[in-house]
Amino acid sequence: MHWSEEWDRVRAKRRPSPESVGIQKRTVTGLVGKGTGFEPGTFGTMAAARASLGRIRPESSILFLCDMQEKLRDRVLYFPQIVSMAARMLKAARLLDVPVLLTEQYPQGLGPTVPELGAQGIRAISKTCFSMVPPLQQELDRRPQLRSVLLCGIETQGCILHTALDLLDRGLQVHVAVDACSSRSEMNRLVALDRMRQSGVFLSTSEVLILQLVKDAAHPQFKEVCTPEESPRAPGAGVTGGCEPPDIGAENYVLVLCKSSKCS
């Protein structure tokens, strides 16, 4: 037998069967999810694994601030804490050049965005639908590099949940800052967070998201981004199973990170 014929026979044995390719395709498609654009195969599997990590980068992220308005101030649980954490996210987004979009739910009835959010200068988009996605459709369409949406606001079981599901349906990663989202009912808040987790949303905190964006204590904006002003403690009951880690204080935490990287 000629060597070329032998080689063709070996290659034919190594070639995967249609059945195994079908299994691989179903596995990769199920892992990656609808609308992500990943192709089945080795590179698709690697891309799927990377996507499942939920990494975020300033250049491919956007911050959504949802309906933190005056008339909800006395109705929503933890309102001062929620707004404080969202304001911290907004400050970080501005320093790291992350785009920001802001909505107001029926402002004629619920009033304007509260001033302590610090969103002056950002045009608020009015809406009546629960999801932020329909009124922000054009903004999303003109950002082809967008991969991750960071989501803060109220109410968790309403506008936050609907927005998260619509964003997932577009193939985007959604990161909800649980210490910057609340509801009028604690049960609705916790059930909605669990519902989003079941659908593939990454549940996080403002601190975790900011540190992911900064990545390095040597970042020139690190101190300004990661040292929050003193504010009321954000809600944590239920999200961490009722067991909170000891609070060493944000300033001490930043000091530890700075010392480890020898920042001035």
**Catalytic site includes residue 129:** no
**Catalytic site includes residue 152:** no
Spatial CB neighbours of 171, under 8 Å, sequence gap ≥ 6: 33, 34, 35, 36, 37
Among residues 119, 144, 140, 120, the alpha carbon closest in space to that of 131 is found at 140
CA 159, chain centre distance (Å)? 15
**Catalytic residue from among 25, 71, 97, 127:** 127
What Cα–Cα distance (Å) separates residue 137 from each residue in 125, 167, 179, 187, 245? 11, 10, 26, 31, 39
Residues in the chain: 264
What Cα–Cα distance (Å) separates residue 249 from each residue in 113, 196, 203, 236? 29, 29, 22, 16
**Catalytic residue from among 66, 67, 181, 226:** 67
Cβ burial of 37 (10 Å; 0-12, 13-18, 19+) is: exposed
**Catalytic site includes residue 159:** yes
Give the CB-side neighbour count of residue 72, counting CA atoms within 13 A: 29
**Catalytic residue from among 159, 166, 179, 226:** 159
Residues noted as catalytic? 67, 127, 159
